[in-house]
Amino acid sequence: MTGSDDELTRKWDRRHRNAEGPGEVAAVLADNLHLLPAKGDALDLACGRGANAIRLAQAGLRVTAWDLSAVAIERLNSTARTQRVSITAGVRDVIARPPEPESFDLILVSYFLERSLAPAIMRALSPGGLLYYQTFSVNAVSDSGPSNPAFRLQDNELLALFRPLKVRFYREEGRLGECRMGTRDIAMLVAEKPVA
């Protein structure tokens, strides 16, 4: 691990140590629970304290969850015990070690944007597998999320990054219309890997 990786890990450890609870279930998941498969292997990639992993396990999926931060993984394991759900959680740098090809029926990514991982994420889905993705966009109405625009999606960027997949749900409202309403600041995608 390089010095800057170490620094990143310390930053996330500190944030997860000081945060309350497991975090919030991502809207892309909460709004699209009806699209989940009844069973299968799911990965929460860069899972943080694991609200999404817990929700996926409660929906009956066999869940793996990876994050760089050991503190996040400890917190996730503790919540999973309290909630009596089983999750295989591990400390893993998903950029250095992306998921193996065709290893998951569903991959969820929330508030983690590493563009170079898109091809590996698509490869890691089994045929017919689903991607749930949500993160901040540049075309936002509030200042929540990363201040560096490089860490935010451009218009339509999720669609471009995952173009080979079949779009099943997409939402990105930008600054259109009545900005106090709707689901702002983020883009959300649910997409399906074609069966060859």
Ligand X SMILES: C[S@@+](CC[C@H](N)C(=O)[O-])C[C@H]1O[C@@H](n2cnc3c(N)ncnc32)[C@H](O)[C@@H]1O
> Among candidates 31, 56, 32, which has minimal Cα distance to 43?
56
CB of 90 or CB of 128, closer to ligand X: 90
- Closest distance to ligand X from the beta carbon of 23 (Å): 4
Nearer to ligand X, 30 or 176 (CB): 30
Q: Does 98 bind ligand X (CB under 6 A)?
A: no
44 touches 64 (CB < 8 A): yes
Q: Which of 46, 63, 65, 107 is close enough to bind ligand X by CB under 6 A?
A: 46
Nearest residue (CB) to ligand X, 2 versus 38 = 2
Binding letters toward ligand X, positions 3-22, x by CB under 6 A = ---------x----------
Confirm or reject binding of residue 29 to ligand X (CB under 6 A).
no
| Residue numbers 113-172 binding ligand X by CB under 6 A | none
Residue nearest to ligand X (CB): 48
Report the distance separating Cα 114 and Cα 86, nearest Å: 28
**Does residue 99 touch ligand X according to CB under 6 A?**
no
What whole-number distance in Å separates Cα of residue 122 and Cα of residue 31? Answer: 22
Neighbouring CB atoms inside 10 A of 96's CB total: 9
Q: How far apart are CA 128 and CA 195, in angstroms?
A: 5
Residue among 116, 115, 111, 139 nearest 45 (CA): 111
Q: What whole-number distance in Å separates Cα of residue 49 and Cα of residue 73?
A: 6
Q: List interacting residues with ligand X (CB under 6 A).
A: 12, 23, 26, 46-48, 66-69, 72, 93-95, 110-112
